[in-house]
Structure 1
Amino acid sequence: MSLPLHMSLVEAEERRLVDPDGRPIVESLELLSARDIGVAPLAFGDTDFSHRRVFERPYEGAWRESVYRSAPVRLYRLRGALVLSSSGVVLLRTVDQATGHTGLCLLDETIQYIELAEHGIHLGHDSNSISVSVEKFSRLAGRAVHLLAPGGSYNYYHWNIDVMSRFSVVPEAHRDDVFLVPPLPCQFQWEFLNGVARNRAMRLQAIHAREAVEVDELILIPNIGEFGHFPRPEQLRVFAAAGLGVPSAAPGRRLYIARRNAEHRRLLNEQEVITLLEAAGYEILECETLPLAEQAQRFAEASHIVAPHGAGLTNVVYCDSRAALCELQMDLNVNWLFRRLGNLKGIRYGCVVGENNGPWEPLQPHNKAWHLPVDRLAAVLKREGFL
């Protein structure tokens, strides 16, 4: 029986695939076992959605959960793997032991949220083969660590949680390996890498779009925290180790994290929210304009944070446990990423949910505009000590 065109890492290891020299192509080591993560109940604001229509992520009914299950974290050692594009798609070169036929096989964990054709990958289901079209191909001798993510490496949230949090569990034995990264055009990427490196040199190799690199030995820690939906406390180690978010004072700052420059999920009456909070002495932050160290420090010194759902809230990883967060959410995209992330820090979390401005299309929420009842927000904030 011929090998499938794609499979999971678990399946690939179970099949005991070998290279032409008879060596295992896939081997793994468990770094962290599965565990249950307790979640504090919604503390204030909108706390009951049993009779309100909302579209939740990661799944319906998560608003009432008290615990979620976080999957084990495994390190995979892959021989002769092909790493394709800045999104980090990984293909294995396989040998069918019955026929001796060689081919390529995609790893499922690296093609989530990926349109294969956009990365020059074409599946021939009739011929049961994969063809790859690239503009540059090279080989990397020795060992490299995979630090890429599907399409998310330039988003502040995905860069930190999907990619950089892997440093929390990368064994010391691999800290001197080559790290495969996307091109790094963003200042925050370099700032964080410098924090992680401290005084230790790091070897980086960027992989561009339509580029493929064949690696003698690839170290892959896939989907730690499952793209942030099921975060683990161990993921936060790297943020402390990077030496960022060192407060110069006890928590006392009150912050509003603005999204007025964002292209997606525009809060149509955001200026009303800003006017309300400015009058109460809140700092209005546009995180994209601040150096990473300054963002981290302000969050570390924050006692109260109000913010629409957005990447800037990734900085809750630097918060003191005495902080409180009121997240402003849209009914068409109630996303509990930052509730769960803040929960790992022990912060008090509540939310106020506004309404989508248009038809109810839950499969495409990211480009939707929305509005928030400011009077209701003000009442919640006054009652909870934010104002």
Structure 2
Amino acid sequence: MNKLKRTINYIIVLIYRLVRRIPFLEYAYIRFRALSHGDKLLRLKPLSVKEYCYLKDYWIKNIEEPQKRMVYKADYYPDIKGEEHYCDSPEIYICKLKDVVVIGGSAVMMADEYALTDVCDNYKDDRVDYIAGPILKADRNDFYIEVSKDIRSIKNTVVNLSGLAASNYYHLTIELLSRFKYIQDNIKNEEYVVLLDKDAEKYPQYCSLIKRILGEQKIEFIDFGERLFCNKVIYPSVNTWMPFNVKSNLYFCISDNIISKSAVYNVRNNIHIEATDKNKRRKIFISRRNSGFSRLENEEDVAALFVEYGYEIICLEKVSYADQVRLFAEASCIVGASGAALTNVIYCKSDAVIGCFIPRKYNFYIYSSMAHMIGCKVLFFDADVVNSSFAFSAESCKVNLKKCRQYIKLLEKLMGEEERT
């Protein structure tokens, strides 16, 4: 059934991508979509938040200057050595804006005729596809955004942590909530509410995470595509630079994986799990069998191999947030197919080993970079793509079991436990 759903979704997206090549058909489609939802279609000029602040002479403060940041190109089984790459990144800043409209789930604020977004400053080449969330058509000149017909207002000063894909654990944890620490450290003696997307409270684990990061802070939730007029907005800029999407048939380049160290440590240092036994050396295989999309076509066979070597098979969907943190903090090795659950590597011990099944051609090094930042050893496995798709996040892979057994032995060696195999 899942394969059928993926096939139908693939066909729909494929048709849409064909439609996008014909401008008048694309515009007709997005206009019809907005009207059919009872929404409004806005056409706005993209402008960076920083540039708009300079234009209006608004307060802005740099937290971290533009600099080269580390991306760790993962070690791959059997003998490809990892490398640190240093890539240019923009500054991280906080600014204060007046009379803007936040658009839920979009990473966009609206002011005058502008779509205010950091994406304008961060991506200068033609590889990036700006379409995401309620942004239906976009280039460097125009953003077409599906929004609510009505505009809600809020009187409180708002800290804007609304953004793209808050329903995804990685995006919520690293791209959105990690930025609150900049507010705590730099905005004193001001009352405000934190603005989050409604999707951020989709799962109990997310609610627990939010509680850990924000504490008793008052929160305002915004719906997908909703327009919220704010008299005053405090905006912490992005601190990771993974693009919205890359265009069809393109893979990431190294610089698409840039994450600031503060994004990782703002969360890692804020989480305290009292009952964690750091002397434990659990070996964990993260299963995606209950996720609706396993990514590994032969996951059951792969998991069985890991069981032979003493690994626990864990499905995180029903595991509480506190227990997930405890699990990763107690692990000597974590392995799984690429997915948002690996965000939890930020809670691992510095001598843990992190494994991941992901095709090397994707150039996706978000999790290896985070693991390397905290001192973990990394060893990935180059899985074979068996079902190609319009985006690598929708592709499924397969693992050669004979090679997988050798891979496990290398993981055991990295842990210093090869004598047990």
Secondary structure, aligned partner of 2:346? helix
Shift in Å at residue 245 of structure 1?
A: 7.8
Instruction: Say if 1:331 and 1:80 are closer, same or farther in 2 by CA, change over 3 A.
Output: same
Task: Deviation per CA, 1:302-342: give whole Å up to 9, x if none.
Answer: 11111111111000010010101111112453411100010
Partner of 1:59: none
Shift in Å at residue 381 of structure 1?
A: 2.0
Structure 1 gaps of 5+ residues are: 18-23, 50-62, 94-103
Give the letter aligned to residue 395 of structure 2.
K
Instruction: Say if 1:242 and 1:117 are closer, same or farther in 2 by CA, change over 3 A.
Output: closer
Separation in 1, partners of 2:104, 2:360: 35
Partner of 1:148: 162
- 1:31 partnered with 2:63: yes
- 1:105 partnered with 2:100: no
Separation in 2, partners of 1:381, 1:259: 19
Give the letter aligned to residue 344 of structure 1.
M
Task: Deviation per CA, 1:225-280: give whole Å up to 9, x if none.
Answer: 22482112212223321324862231401000111233446211111111011122
Give the letter aligned to residue 109 of structure 2.
V
Contact 1:326–1:350 (CA under 8 A) maintained in structure 2: yes
Instruction: Say if 1:47 and 1:170 are closer, same or farther in 2 by CA, change over 3 A.
Output: farther
Shift in Å at residue 113 of structure 1?
A: 6.4
Separation in 2, partners of 1:141, 1:121: 31
Instruction: Say if 1:182 and 1:38 are closer, same or farther in 2 by CA, change over 3 A.
Output: closer
Instruction: Say if 1:246 and 1:70 are closer, same or farther in 2 by CA, change over 3 A.
Output: farther
Separation in 1, partners of 2:143, 2:305: 60
Q: TM-score, normalised by structure 1?
A: 0.79
Say which of 322, 325, 329 aligns to 2:354: 325
Instruction: Say if 1:366 and 1:66 are closer, same or farther in 2 by CA, change over 3 A.
Output: closer
Partner of 1:185: 202
Say which of 269, 273, 281 aligns to 2:310: 281
Instruction: Say if 1:246 and 1:107 are closer, same or farther in 2 by CA, change over 3 A.
Output: farther
Partner of 1:366: 393
Partner of 1:267: 296
Partner of 1:55: none
Give the letter aligned to residue 279 of structure 2.
A
Secondary structure, aligned partner of 1:181? strand
Q: TM-score, normalised by structure 2?
A: 0.73
- 1:71 partnered with 2:86: no
Say which of 276, 283, 287 aligns to 1:254: 283
Contact 1:253–1:301 (CA under 8 A) maintained in structure 2: yes
Separation in 1, partners of 2:369, 2:223: 33
Partner of 1:223: 238
Secondary structure, aligned partner of 1:241? coil
Give the letter aligned to residue 206 of structure 1.
F
Separation in 1, partners of 2:143, 2:92: 30
Question: RMSD over aligned Cα, in angstroms?
Answer: 3.1
Give the letter aligned to residue 182 of structure 1.
D
Give the letter aligned to residue 97 of structure 2.
L
Shift in Å at residue 41 of structure 1?
A: 6.6
Separation in 2, partners of 1:130, 1:220: 23
- Alignment of structure 1 residues 349-364 onto 2, 5 Å: 349-359=378-388, 364=391
Instruction: Say if 1:143 and 1:43 are closer, same or farther in 2 by CA, change over 3 A.
Output: same
Say which of 154, 173, 177 aligns to 1:164: 177
Secondary structure, aligned partner of 2:258? coil
- 1:12 partnered with 2:52: yes
Contact 2:134–2:147 (CA under 8 A) maintained in structure 1: no
Secondary structure, aligned partner of 1:209? coil
Partner of 1:81: 100
Contact 1:245–1:300 (CA under 8 A) maintained in structure 2: no
Contact 2:195–2:221 (CA under 8 A) maintained in structure 1: yes
Contact 1:239–1:318 (CA under 8 A) maintained in structure 2: yes
Partner of 2:219: 204
Contact 2:278–2:330 (CA under 8 A) maintained in structure 1: yes
Shift in Å at residue 160 of structure 1?
A: 0.6
Give the letter aligned to residue 161 of structure 2.
L
Give the letter aligned to residue 107 of structure 1.
L
Equivalent pairs: percent with the same residue?
18
Task: Deviation per CA, 1:74-109: give whole Å up to 9, x if none.
Answer: 11211111111233421112xxxxxxxxxx211132
Task: Deviation per CA, 1:31-63: give whole Å up to 9, x if none.
Answer: 1123334466745515549xxxxxxxxxxxxx6
Count of residues paired in the alignment: 345
Separation in 1, partners of 2:132, 2:348: 38
Give the letter aligned to residue 306 of structure 1.
V
Contact 1:245–1:296 (CA under 8 A) maintained in structure 2: no
Separation in 2, partners of 1:154, 1:246: 28
Partner of 1:97: none
Contact 1:331–1:355 (CA under 8 A) maintained in structure 2: no
Separation in 1, partners of 2:391, 2:136: 25
Secondary structure, aligned partner of 1:169? helix
Secondary structure, aligned partner of 1:188? helix
Instruction: Say if 1:8 and 1:281 are closer, same or farther in 2 by CA, change over 3 A.
Output: same
Contact 1:176–1:202 (CA under 8 A) maintained in structure 2: no
Give the letter aligned to residue 189 of structure 1.
Y
Partner of 1:136: 150
Structure 2 gaps of 5+ residues are: 1-43, 121-127, 243-255, 414-420
Separation in 1, partners of 2:162, 2:273: 22
Instruction: Say if 1:250 and 1:142 are closer, same or farther in 2 by CA, change over 3 A.
Output: same
Contact 1:256–1:307 (CA under 8 A) maintained in structure 2: yes
